Structure 1
């Protein structure tokens, strides 16, 4: 039995993995796949990949590209979710800020430097013609719970996080959503430690073929909207909206998408260079 550890955020995007585990699909192929939740998101997963706590991560495209260029310790195997991530721009419910431009020069809560909540503040600033050097400030809060505390206490002024995950906080009067900032690229990819790729190609092929079969038919699963609503404590109408705009992928990330994503990250000084696509990906 081959042991493999995989990490991802504890959100509805990753339900296909949990369904595959619950059905014993990996065990059937002699793979003992262990899932670890990472409430801290991409930054925490990058650290876990580097220190070998996990072998695989379901991780944000922008964050892992930055990490690969900086550390060269990981490779992208394929796209996991093809569609953009809808980042909600949140303030505390009693905040005096009601428009996105009210947040100019204010402090953004971020889970970690290099995380999606950090990098997407740059995209939001660019979208609103802010000065990247002068109009952004950050407060590290580690995770969503930290963001709730930070915004409520006034340690930070706004927070970007996937809008359907945070919708219950908006409904319950903890956060107020004042806008959205979709990622300009496919949101999630499957990344793996380079060392692990080299030693376990057949195992990885089996893992990918298993999850790809699940995601291909995921939206056709009977009552999947009700299952997600109950499991993740989301309003059924919100789940139905999310499913209508979300598409999974079963293929390698497109080279043009990789290049265009890097160009945007480079223009914002998030990455120091534009890497050759072969530096970023591994073809099994």
Structure 2
């Protein structure tokens, strides 16, 4: 049976989409999760997918909070994610500091939009034990919420949200890059076979390396993203200057896990157990190489 691979249909997924087109559903099928990593984790938990390409911080915080629905099996994007801080077109909010003690929109509990709100609060020096959130499920719900006044702002990846900015539906009042590499790969610990996961990660590595090459970045990547996502060429080129991919999808940095846990703990989003976290508990050692 083919692996069920959950993903978010964004420009970051381009190497995966190229792999999927070549595979034709023989070894894996794609399951789109438009609401983001919170939805990916929910589907891993509900036996709707076997593997997820998802954001680093929600994956790590989910395991830290006790989830046994998945373990980390690999790395995908090695550069930070630039989260735009987004408000409605006519709101009074002009800068991030204006958002203190307001209600922030998130897609789901435990999503990147929520974990990064804690990071933003940490950076701003706000208390993090009483942040206010409203769940809005997806980007459309989030955009509507900042314009109907039910939330003050929300956070989403810069280029993914830029079409709403260009259309005049929202305003950007700042940005918060992640203090960690942004995308990792997780899989249910028993549903997918070891051989199938190793094959998937090995082939994905080949597509990632090709996509990340200077030759492909110069033209082919630009044309692929323009055709697939409809982004203006200047936006695609600007994004490509900021993004880097792993050249071994099955390798995981223990330092990335520990650094991410440290920031999330300081932000008040997770609590360390007595004796601290054991990085090895976050990784499936049969699949991933912990470095």
TM over 0.5: yes
Task: Out of 7-16 and 223-232, give the one that drifted further.
Answer: 223-232
Tell whether 2:206 aligns with 1:213: yes
Decide which of 23, 37, 46 is 2:41's aligned counterpart. 46
Deviation, structure 1 residue 26: 6.6
3-state secondary structure, aligned to 1:217: helix
Q: Which aligned runs of 4 or more in structure 1 are off by greater than 6 angstroms? A: none
Tell me how far apart the structure 2 counterparts of residues 23 and 213 of structure 1 sit (CA, whole Å): 12
Tell me how far apart the structure 1 counterparts of residues 94 and 63 of structure 2 sit (CA, whole Å): 37
Deviation, structure 1 residue 73: 2.4
Deviation, structure 1 residue 282: 1.4
3-state secondary structure, aligned to 1:91: strand
Decide which of 118, 132, 149 is 1:154's aligned counterpart. 149
TM-score by length of 2: 0.91
> Structure 2 stretches of 5 or more lacking a match?
none
Q: What's 1:239 paired with?
A: 236
Deviation digits for residues 228-248 of structure 1, max 9, x if unmatched? 123212121111111111011
Structural RMSD (CA): 1.4
3-state secondary structure, aligned to 2:31: strand
Matched residue count: 276
Contact 1:75 1:282 in 2 (8 A): yes
Decide which of 263, 279, 282 is 1:280's aligned counterpart. 282
Contact 1:126 1:132 in 2 (8 A): yes
> Structure 1 stretches of 5 or more lacking a match?
none
Deviation digits for residues 242-272 of structure 1, max 9, x if unmatched? 1111011124221111111111112223223
Deviation, structure 1 residue 10: 1.3
Contact 1:26 1:210 in 2 (8 A): no
Deviation, structure 1 residue 85: 0.5
3-state secondary structure, aligned to 1:159: strand
Q: How does 1:116-135 map to 2 (within 5 A)?
A: 116-134=112-130
Q: What's 1:225 paired with?
A: 222
3-state secondary structure, aligned to 2:191: helix
Q: What's 1:261 paired with?
A: 260
Deviation, structure 1 residue 25: 7.0
Tell whether 2:245 aligns with 1:248: yes
Tell me how far apart the structure 2 counterparts of residues 56 and 113 of structure 1 sit (CA, whole Å): 20
Deviation, structure 1 residue 68: 1.6
Q: How does 1:102-141 map to 2 (within 5 A)?
A: 102-134=98-130, 136-141=131-136
Tell me how far apart the structure 1 counterparts of residues 102 and 229 of structure 2 sit (CA, whole Å): 31
Deviation, structure 1 residue 131: 1.6
Decide which of 184, 198, 201 is 2:179's aligned counterpart. 184
Tell me how far apart the structure 1 counterparts of residues 8 and 182 of structure 2 sit (CA, whole Å): 13
3-state secondary structure, aligned to 1:147: helix
Deviation, structure 1 residue 96: 1.2
Contact 1:25 1:210 in 2 (8 A): no
Contact 1:68 1:280 in 2 (8 A): yes
Tell me how far apart the structure 2 counterparts of residues 132 and 201 of structure 1 sit (CA, whole Å): 40
Q: What's 1:6 paired with?
A: 5
Tell me how far apart the structure 2 counterparts of residues 141 and 210 of structure 1 sit (CA, whole Å): 35
Deviation digits for residues 187-218 of structure 1, max 9, x if unmatched? 11010001135xx1111111011110001110
Tell me how far apart the structure 2 counterparts of residues 10 and 21 of structure 1 sit (CA, whole Å): 13
Tell me how far apart the structure 2 counterparts of residues 41 and 120 of structure 1 sit (CA, whole Å): 13
